[in-house]
Amino acid sequence: MVSSPTVRDVAARAGVSRQTVSNVFNAPDRVDPRTMAKVLTAVEALGYRPNRSARSLKTRSAELIGYCVPSRPAGPLMDTFLHALCNAAEAVNRHVLLFTAGDGDMSAYQNLVAQQAVDAFVLSDAVDDDPRHRWLTERKIRYASFGRTWPAHGEQPAPWVDVDGAAAIHDIVTGLVSLGHQRIGFLGWWHGIGAMQDRLRGWRAACAEHRLPHGDPLVVRAIADTMADGRAAARRLLNLADPPTAMVAVSDVLALGVCQELAGRGLVPGKDVAVTGFDDTMLASVVEPGLTSVRQPVERIAEALVRSLVGGDGHHDVRVLLRGEIVSRASAPIPTPTARSVT
Amino acid sequence: MVSSPTVRDVAARAGVSRQTVSNVFNAPDRVDPRTMAKVLTAVEALGYRPNRSARSLKTRSAELIGYCVPSRPAGPLMDTFLHALCNAAEAVNRHVLLFTAGDGDMSAYQNLVAQQAVDAFVLSDAVDDDPRHRWLTERKIRYASFGRTWPAHGEQPAPWVDVDGAAAIHDIVTGLVSLGHQRIGFLGWWHGIGAMQDRLRGWRAACAEHRLPHGDPLVVRAIADTMADGRAAARRLLNLADPPTAMVAVSDVLALGVCQELAGRGLVPGKDVAVTGFDDTMLASVVEPGLTSVRQPVERIAEALVRSLVGGDGHHDVRVLLRGEIVSRASAPIPTPTARSVT
């Protein structure tokens, strides 16, 4: 067996000191680019490996967290969430390994685990009773979830971090009441997934608290999360004998459908009828009037997820419910103290 | 020195055959979940490493491609591009390692290279004479770029893949001419970055070819890529003594500003004035009327980038200029054969 090359070998071949070789790996900012190139050429020629792979073998950690990038259409939060996830991972000397997987296909997860290419997974876009969660749990593979899966039986098995949708919608309704609204509609999705039910609960509770009507006629459901379906749902609310003066939508896309229906009737969002969305996507800020929405604190979500995976044992049982931030714009200029007003 | 555990040790501890252990790593689909859990528990307990780190040490390849996730605000293409990049990498048994870096800060690249945690980088969002390209080239680090950096002096040093903006805008102008337009405006950015100049060249060449006016009054420039600036630029075109009947914008966001200005004047995009954008972002498909735009072939871009890094030596000198796809919508129902019509 040939012995492995050492720092001394690299230094000799590159014609530099051992300290310089060490600096290349440990304090690269101090190294001149040409010297760097010389050392790296020697490293390459000799096959010197001071590297992550060697460290991984020693520490039994890949130092990578796997994240499956959602296929099109991606969630509107994905780009900001990914950036936050990388930042959070880097803060504890980890990186994010990105991969793809077909819907319901766990073989990519399986292969990464078998190769020990990652130490754990972060999941997002959780669905009710998410089969990925069951699969990973059965195999005792470590993971944490952005979002709850609202399991029908018992508790969610692994760490999760989520935004309190009920509380955010409760705050929005309270803000609308402070603007004088007494009749507030709710636009949900037809499929009653957990996140939707959660937000609907917030609407019901807040309306009940303020002694406002919160019966079925004020709740309409869109078939899909599209502007056209949001518009159709808004039409049903506006055609009521006693239509609401404010509409709380479960997503920005539905809320924009509401704005479209208002425009078609010569009504102005925020003046004639208040409209709010959820997620504070790019759409909310580029339309006119701007759309009041709920921003998810992606940085804090990402930090809590990574901490649950990389922190000490005390963190593995994490359930974190974070408060969303109401971003108040012209479609519903909510003045509550929790709202951050933007132009 | 303690000898490393073998497949035999793992099989004995898990109470399964060596074939089963092998299946866990090579044909996981054949393994029952409970058996899988038993084997992985034994692997973990013994510290058995059949893994990527060991293979990396042997093959001298991390099997990872580094990609720096852009900070907010992310380019509108990012989510689809990342998915395509992962797919392309997985097709050649690589994965994408995601990381963050401050603007102009190369230390994250440096550290990944020093640890040999990645084999190469893919860059996106190239700017003119991109300093990242110079930094990586000086250090002989392998990379490929989505986008040209339009170097003022000499050729771009590494493989790049890009969309032919001049050709796409040329096609759009020709399509508008076929719809009867004889006076076509161009909305660019004030900062004359290469990609903008490229698209402007396409507009000028096509207008000249069709003997249409293409002088300065028909070219307006937005300060920033915002709807408000697009609207202001459109105002200047519409206030001309002889205003254009069609407006070609360098981005979807600017084009939506044009649509807003038209709506403010009681004009309908696609009926009274034709409007086109670029990039086919989410915005283009959700607004009404839908916005005609240019879709970048992200899958082919990603494949070409990965091939230039992982393919044989013949691929390292790649310069690939791909054709954008015109997605025709109601804002400018272009009937050219290259256009794919969507509702």
pLDDT tens for A119-176 read 999 999 888 889 999 999 998 899 999 999 988 777 888 899 999 999 999 999 999 9
Q: Using 50, 70 and 90 to split pLDDT, how confident is the model at A105?
A: confident
Does residue B39 sit in the same domain as residue B173? no
Does residue B334 sit in the same domain as residue B187? yes
Cα(B38)–Cα(B20) distance, integer angstroms: 11
Q: Which residues of B touch A108 (CB under 8 A)?
A: 90
Q: Tell me if B95 is assigned to some domain.
A: yes
Does residue B203 sit in the same domain as residue B334? yes
Does residue B100 sit in the same domain as residue B247? no
Q: Is A7 on the interface with B (CB under 8 A)?
A: no
Does residue B333 sit in the same domain as residue B222? yes
Q: Tell me if A140 is assigned to some domain.
A: yes
pLDDT score of A252: 92
Q: Tell me if B55 is assigned to some domain.
A: no
C-alpha distance from A68 to closest chain B C-alpha (Å): 9
Q: Using 50, 70 and 90 to split pLDDT, how confident is the model at B337?
A: low
pLDDT score of A228: 86
Predicted complex ipTM: 0.79
Amino acid of residue A117: A
Q: Tell me if B12 is assigned to some domain.
A: yes
* Backbone Cα Rg of chain A: 26
Q: Which residues of A touch B264 (CB under 8 A)?
A: none
> Nearest residue on chain A to B89, judged by CA atoms?
A99
Q: Which residues of A touch B114 (CB under 8 A)?
A: 24-26, 28, 50
Cβ–Cβ under 8 Å, residues A306 and A143: no
User: Which one of B80, B100, B110 has the shortest CB-CB distance to A83?
Assistant: B100
Q: Tell me if A46 is assigned to some domain.
A: no
Asked if B282's CB is within 8 angstroms of A51's CB, the reply is no
pLDDT score of A343: 41
Average pLDDT over residues B323-342: 80
Q: Is A335 on the interface with B (CB under 8 A)?
A: no
Asked if A98's CB is within 8 angstroms of B98's CB, the reply is yes
- Give the Cβ contact number of residue A71 at 10 Å: 15
Least confident of A53-57, A83-87, B109-113: A53-57
> Any residues with CB less than 8 A from the CB of B44 and at least 6 apart, and which?
none
B74: pLDDT strictly greater than 70? no
C-alpha distance from A210 to closest chain B C-alpha (Å): 35
Asked if A54's CB is within 8 angstroms of B57's CB, the reply is yes
Asked if B90's CB is within 8 angstroms of A69's CB, the reply is no
DSSP character string of B221-276: EESSSSHHHHHHHHHHHHTSSS--SEEEESSHHHHHHHHHHHHHTT--BTTTBEEE
Q: Using 50, 70 and 90 to split pLDDT, how confident is the model at B1?
A: very low
Q: Tell me if A210 is assigned to some domain.
A: yes
Closest by alpha carbon to B326, among B162, B148, B175? Answer: B175
Q: Which residues of A touch B74 (CB under 8 A)?
A: 79-80, 83
Cα(B177)–Cα(B246) distance, integer angstroms: 9
Does residue B237 sit in the same domain as residue B333? yes
Q: Tell me if B320 is assigned to some domain.
A: yes
Largest pairwise CA distance in chain A: 88
Q: Which residues of A touch B256 (CB under 8 A)?
A: 286
Does residue A81 sit in the same domain as residue A105? yes
- Torsion angle defined by CA atoms of residues B266, B269, B274 and B277, in that order, rounded to the nearest 10 degrees: 130
pLDDT score of A125: 85
Domain count, chain A: 2
Does residue A108 sit in the same domain as residue A135? yes
pLDDT score of A33: 84
**Coil/strand/helix, residue A75:** coil
Does residue A201 sit in the same domain as residue A335? yes
Does residue B132 sit in the same domain as residue B77? yes
pLDDT score of A51: 62
pLDDT score of A202: 97
Average pLDDT over residues B206-213: 98
Percent of chain A with pLDDT over 90: 55
> Nearest residue on chain A to B28, judged by CA atoms?
A110
Q: Is A80 on the interface with B (CB under 8 A)?
A: yes
φ, ψ at B176 (rounded to 5°): -65, -40
User: Which one of B40, B62, B87 has the shortest CB-CB distance to A139?
Assistant: B40
Does residue A291 sit in the same domain as residue A308? no
Cα(B255)–Cα(B267) distance, integer angstroms: 14
Q: What is the pLDDT of residues A92-102, one digit of tens each?
A: 989 999 999 98
Q: Tell me if A292 is assigned to some domain.
A: yes
B332: pLDDT strictly greater than 50? yes
User: Which one of B51, B111, B138 has the shortest CB-CB distance to A37?
Assistant: B138
Which CATH number fits the domain that encloses residue B40?
1.10.260.40
Q: For residue B318, what are its two tokens?
A: 């790649």
Interface of A with B in 98-157 (CB under 8 A): 98-100, 107-108, 110-111, 113-117, 135, 138-141
Percent of chain B with pLDDT over 90: 55
Q: Is A70 on the interface with B (CB under 8 A)?
A: yes
pLDDT score of B343: 40
Cβ–Cβ under 8 Å, residues B258 and B265: no
C-alpha distance from A110 to closest chain B C-alpha (Å): 7
ω into A289 cis (within 30 of 0) = yes
Does residue B207 sit in the same domain as residue B155? no
The domain in which residue B89 lies consists of 61-163+298-324
DSSP character string of B33-89: HHHHHHHHHHHHHHT---SHHHHHHHHT---EEEEEPPPSSPPTTHHHHHHHHHHHH
Which CATH number fits the domain that encloses residue A265?
3.40.50.2300
Q: What is the pLDDT of residues B256-295, one digit of tens each?
A: 999 989 988 999 999 999 999 999 887 888 777 899 999 9
Q: Is A88 on the interface with B (CB under 8 A)?
A: no
Asked if B116's CB is within 8 angstroms of A53's CB, the reply is yes
Q: What is the pLDDT of residues A239-295, one digit of tens each?
A: 999 999 999 999 998 999 999 899 889 999 999 999 999 998 878 887 778 899 999
A107: pLDDT strictly greater than 70? yes
Largest pairwise CA distance in chain B: 88
